[in-house]
Structure 1
Amino acid sequence: MDSRLWQGSLGGNFSDCPNGSQWVWDVFSECAQDIRDFASIALGLFSIFCFAGASFPQYYQACKTGNMDQALSIYFLLGWLGGDSLNLIGSFLANQLPLQVYTAIYYVLADLVMLALYLYYKVKNQSRGLSAPINAAFAFVFLGTVSATSLLGRAGSTVETVTFKGRTLLSAAVDAGGREPFTKKEIIGFTVGSISSLLYLFSRVPQIYTNFKRKSTEGLSYFLFALVMLGNSLYGISVLLKNPDPGQAEGNYIIHHLPWLIGSLGVLSLDVIISFQFLAYQKRRPHASDEREALLGKQDEPLDS
């Protein structure tokens, strides 16, 4: 769950967006000049809604089955929380719009609810309580997230303000070769985004292993992964649809968004593997005709004398 549609920091003014939509600039601080730009923003918004609603099916499934601690890998949850936490830190570092900040906060809170449900069922299903490794991992991630948010939040406020030009807010002057250099803020955002994407990516590996070890996906909600897959697909399309800055080469534009594209496509491919696991481990339910034949067979059996 990530809000990586707008990775830019605020800057520039509407005069940098000739023939653009005023309300899109006011709400998203993005320049939308043609149908391609509008489609990119619309798909990006749909992807955010998919990410935002992905947790609810798993909440329901956890309460329904009561075995969330067995179905989900703790490292899957911690990796997801770590990725969303870095996404939140990046939103502060880049001075993003309140919409992006609130969305990032919501994702972290949704992750914490998921983690709380996991710990609840862990305690409930094991009378001896939590094991020491889980306690240590949870404490480490919690303290690390709080400390990093505090330190990087302060660091973000000291980063120098850059005057951005062009239609993308994470942009500097474009040279004659169509190459757009990285600003200091963009380098920080690029680094944070890369680590965040890696956490999203590697969080799937322990979940795939957990499913394989159990030979079951019972307790998991497929809609959790389906919505994330849809969100990542829409996000990737929205980035590819967006027009580069005037004078910027398409290849250079892709490079500037490469960490998030790799993260989205990588997570998408691993979620496809999890989807195949749902199909492979799905319990076969007997058809009504099979149940009827079994019942008739029992009735035909001779009674014991």
Structure 2
Amino acid sequence: MSPPPSGLQLDLEALSGICGSISIACWVVVYSPQIIENFRRSSADGLSLLFVIIWTLGDVFNVLGAVLQGVLPTMTILAVYYTLADIVLLGQCFYYKGFTLLEAPAGKSTPAIDEEAVEEEPPTEQSSLLPHKRPSNTPDRPAISDAEHLSTRGSFSSLHSRLSNGQLDATHLSPATPFTPPRTSTPTETLTKPKSALYALFFNIAALILVCAAGILGWWLSSRSSRAQYPDRHDHHHHDCHRSPSSTNDTSESLHLDLWGQIFGYLCAALYLGSRIPQLHLNYRRKSTEGVSMLFFLFACVGNLTYVMSIFAYEPACARFERYDDVRGGCESGEWARAYGQYILLNASWLIGSAGTLVLDFMIFGQFWIYRDRNPEVA
């Protein structure tokens, strides 16, 4: 948008442009933290494959909607960029997980054999004197205990005294199940965890501030360039499916509901909303958010929030005429409310998709807090 020739003014028109620019900046870098996290861990187990697939489908329809609606070339390029970034993220998931839709199990558990429940046969003349133990397939359950293994060399009391005096290394009790004393955390390890969490917090905040500042700077440069090129004209903004500034501040009130635009809008909203559910379920099943980048969802959260604000910060053309155009005059009775309501109705699908996704993102942040003890970057 272009402010009036007298200079930059932070009115509704400017607020909508600033929020829209911040939203674009967040969505440009949103994928980078998760891609780097997957590469650093050489794993994508923390990310739900269905979450990435559904999100990719939403961005594909985003591209189709941008092309069919004939939005600005910049918006179409951004929509294509979103899809390419999705493909990179999806490629990482398939590379690390394999070509399967099944998620990794939350924990591998081997069924143990209850020896007491097994009915023992009565002893006979041919049976052995020692009870026959069923062989175990689990490597962590030895057939003979440590005390029985050392019973031929001394009594259990002597073994206990040797352990107490430090004469016997506990790691040599049994090669099958080495017994090590409980490991106590050192003061250095105790301080490392809070420092790591504090560093991650400051890093996330600093990255978010830099991206928001880049968005504001982009709006200022765009406003300055537009004002210099068209000093007597307010520029027009268009919107694509989900992640671009809304089509606000048209000098005419010709806002029309386009059938295909609305269909793609509600379809994108449904896909973006549904994409969060598999990730929420995976975090709940794993009882952990390890492997999920908090900055990934933080950028998405701020991007959705500023996008919603850019839509609500709409000023009808008649109100701008009242301030900038003495010839056309201002809004007639009820015209402002009618134009604003029509505009909100036009963007209802994008509002539902962004606001609903924002609520689900807050639920994911709640999981980061609940499972913080299992995630060293959040604990």
* Cα displacement string for residues 103-161 of structure 1 (whole angstroms, at most 9, x for unaligned residues): 111100000000001111013xxxxxx33779xxxxxxxxxxxxxxxxxxxxxxxxxxx
Q: Which residue among 352, 363, 371 is the counterpart of 1:262? A: 352
Q: Distance in 2 between matches of 1:45 and 1:279?
A: 30
Shift in Å at residue 60 of structure 1? Answer: 1.1
Q: Contact conserved, 1:55 with 1:224, CA < 8 A, in 2?
A: yes
Corresponding residue for residue 343 of structure 2: 253
Q: Contact conserved, 1:193 with 1:259, CA < 8 A, in 2?
A: yes
Structure 2 unmatched runs, 5+: 104-247, 319-334
Q: Percent identity among equivalent residues?
A: 33
Matched, 1:131 2:100: yes
Matched, 1:190 2:166: no
Q: Distance in 2 between matches of 1:244 and 1:256?
A: 14
Evaluate the alpha carbon distance shift between residue 284 and residue 116 of structure 1 in structure 2; reply closer, same or farther with a 3 A threshold.
Answer: closer
Q: Distance in 2 between matches of 1:50 and 1:107?
A: 12
Q: Distance in 2 between matches of 1:170 and 1:80?
A: 35
Corresponding residue for residue 37 of structure 1: 13
Evaluate the alpha carbon distance shift between residue 59 and residue 40 of structure 1 in structure 2; reply closer, same or farther with a 3 A threshold.
Answer: same
Evaluate the alpha carbon distance shift between residue 57 and residue 209 of structure 1 in structure 2; reply closer, same or farther with a 3 A threshold.
Answer: same
Structure 1 unmatched runs, 5+: 1-16, 23-31, 124-129, 135-165, 173-179, 287-305
Q: Distance in 2 between matches of 1:170 and 1:229?
A: 32
* Cα displacement string for residues 88-109 of structure 1 (whole angstroms, at most 9, x for unaligned residues): 1111011111110111111000
Q: Distance in 2 between matches of 1:91 and 1:285?
A: 39
Evaluate the alpha carbon distance shift between residue 133 and residue 60 of structure 1 in structure 2; reply closer, same or farther with a 3 A threshold.
Answer: closer
Amino acid at match of 2:310: S
Q: Distance in 2 between matches of 1:262 and 1:59?
A: 28
Q: Distance in 2 between matches of 1:245 and 1:194?
A: 26
Shift in Å at residue 20 of structure 1? Answer: 6.5
Q: Which residue among 46, 49, 53 is the counterpart of 1:74? A: 49
TM-score by length of 1: 0.64
Amino acid at match of 1:103: L
CA root-mean-square deviation = 2.8
Q: Contact conserved, 1:66 with 1:219, CA < 8 A, in 2?
A: no
Where does 1:98-113 land on structure 2 (aligned, <5 Å)? 98-113=73-88
Corresponding residue for residue 168 of structure 1: 250
Amino acid at match of 1:38: A
SS at match of 2:373: coil
TM-score by length of 2: 0.52
Corresponding residue for residue 300 of structure 2: 228
Evaluate the alpha carbon distance shift between residue 115 and residue 169 of structure 1 in structure 2; reply closer, same or farther with a 3 A threshold.
Answer: farther
Q: Distance in 2 between matches of 1:45 and 1:254?
A: 20
Shift in Å at residue 244 of structure 1? Answer: 2.9
Amino acid at match of 1:117: Q
Where does 1:1-305 land on structure 2 (aligned, <5 Å)? 35-68=11-44, 70-123=45-98, 130-131=99-100, 167-168=249-250, 172=254, 181-182=256-257, 186-246=258-318, 247=335, 249=338, 250-283=340-373
Q: Distance in 2 between matches of 1:170 and 1:85?
A: 31
Evaluate the alpha carbon distance shift between residue 197 and residue 33 of structure 1 in structure 2; reply closer, same or farther with a 3 A threshold.
Answer: farther
Q: Distance in 2 between matches of 1:259 and 1:201?
A: 11
Greater radius of gyration (CA): 2
Flag the structure with more relative contact order, 1 or 2, with Cα contacts below 8 A and sequence separation at least 6: 2
Evaluate the alpha carbon distance shift between residue 82 and residue 21 of structure 1 in structure 2; reply closer, same or farther with a 3 A threshold.
Answer: farther
Amino acid at match of 2:312: L
Evaluate the alpha carbon distance shift between residue 284 and residue 103 of structure 1 in structure 2; reply closer, same or farther with a 3 A threshold.
Answer: closer
Q: Distance in 1 between matches of 2:253 and 2:259?
A: 11
Q: Distance in 2 between matches of 1:43 and 1:73?
A: 30
Amino acid at match of 1:96: V
SS at match of 1:283: helix
Q: Distance in 1 between matches of 2:313 and 2:81?
A: 27
* Cα displacement string for residues 41-69 of structure 1 (whole angstroms, at most 9, x for unaligned residues): 1210110110110111001110122221x
Q: Distance in 2 between matches of 1:240 and 1:203?
A: 25
Amino acid at match of 1:84: D
Evaluate the alpha carbon distance shift between residue 132 and residue 235 of structure 1 in structure 2; reply closer, same or farther with a 3 A threshold.
Answer: closer
Q: Contact conserved, 1:76 with 1:204, CA < 8 A, in 2?
A: yes
* Cα displacement string for residues 1-38 of structure 1 (whole angstroms, at most 9, x for unaligned residues): xxxxxxxxxxxxxxxx9x9769xxxxxxxxx9972112
Instruction: Choose between structure 1 and 2: higher helix proportion.
Output: 1
